[in-house]
Protein backbone atom coordinates (compact mmCIF):
# COMPACT_ATOMS: atom_id res chain seq x y z
CA UNK A 1 0.00 0.00 0.00
CA UNK A 2 2.72 2.49 0.88
CA UNK A 3 4.61 1.82 -2.34
CA UNK A 4 1.56 2.50 -4.49
CA UNK A 5 0.87 5.72 -2.57
CA UNK A 6 4.48 6.80 -3.05
CA UNK A 7 4.37 6.08 -6.78
CA UNK A 8 1.10 7.98 -7.08
CA UNK A 9 2.70 11.02 -5.46
CA UNK A 10 5.74 10.73 -7.73
CA UNK A 11 3.47 10.69 -10.76
CA UNK A 12 1.65 13.78 -9.50
CA UNK A 13 4.96 15.59 -8.99
CA UNK A 14 5.99 14.87 -12.58
CA UNK A 15 3.10 17.06 -13.71
CA UNK A 16 4.68 20.02 -11.86
CA UNK A 17 8.01 19.75 -13.69
CA UNK A 18 8.71 22.52 -16.18
CA UNK A 19 10.72 20.82 -18.91
CA UNK A 20 13.15 22.95 -20.93
CA UNK A 21 12.53 23.60 -24.59
CA UNK A 22 14.70 21.78 -27.13
CA UNK A 23 16.55 25.02 -27.86
CA UNK A 24 17.32 25.60 -24.17
CA UNK A 25 18.43 22.01 -23.64
CA UNK A 26 20.75 22.16 -26.65
CA UNK A 27 22.18 25.53 -25.55
CA UNK A 28 22.89 24.26 -22.04
CA UNK A 29 24.43 21.08 -23.42
CA UNK A 30 26.75 23.11 -25.65
CA UNK A 31 27.78 25.29 -22.71
CA UNK A 32 28.63 22.20 -20.66
CA UNK A 33 30.65 20.70 -23.53
CA UNK A 34 32.50 24.00 -24.05
CA UNK A 35 33.35 24.30 -20.35
CA UNK A 36 34.54 20.67 -20.27
CA UNK A 37 36.79 21.28 -23.28
CA UNK A 38 38.23 24.45 -21.74
CA UNK A 39 38.95 22.67 -18.45
CA UNK A 40 40.57 19.77 -20.33
CA UNK A 41 42.72 22.21 -22.33
CA UNK A 42 43.73 24.07 -19.16
CA UNK A 43 44.70 20.84 -17.39
CA UNK A 44 46.63 19.65 -20.46
CA UNK A 45 48.60 22.89 -20.70
CA UNK A 46 49.26 22.89 -16.96
CA UNK A 47 50.43 19.26 -17.13
CA UNK A 48 52.78 20.06 -20.01
CA UNK A 49 54.25 23.08 -18.22
CA UNK A 50 54.76 21.22 -14.94
CA UNK A 51 56.24 18.20 -16.71
CA UNK A 52 58.63 20.44 -18.66
CA UNK A 53 59.56 22.35 -15.51
CA UNK A 54 60.30 19.20 -13.55
CA UNK A 55 62.38 17.83 -16.43
CA UNK A 56 64.46 21.03 -16.48
CA UNK A 57 64.94 20.90 -12.71
CA UNK A 58 66.02 17.25 -12.54
CA UNK A 59 67.97 17.43 -15.79
CA UNK A 60 65.99 14.77 -17.59
DSSP state of 1: -
Q: Give the torsion sign (CA, 17, 22, 25, 27).
A: negative
The CA distance from 25 to 33, in Å, is: 12
H helix count then E strand count, the chain: 2, 0
pLDDT of residue 26: 98
Per-run averaged pLDDT (10 residues), the chain, 60 residues: 92 94 98 98 98 91
User: Quick one: 33 exposed, middle or buried, by C-beta within 10 A (0-12, 13-18, 19+)?
Assistant: exposed
pLDDT at 10: 94
Answer yes or no: are the C-beta atoms of 33 and 40 closer than 8 Å.
no
Amino acid sequence: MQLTTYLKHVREEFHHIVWPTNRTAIAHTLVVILIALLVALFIGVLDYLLRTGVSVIIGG
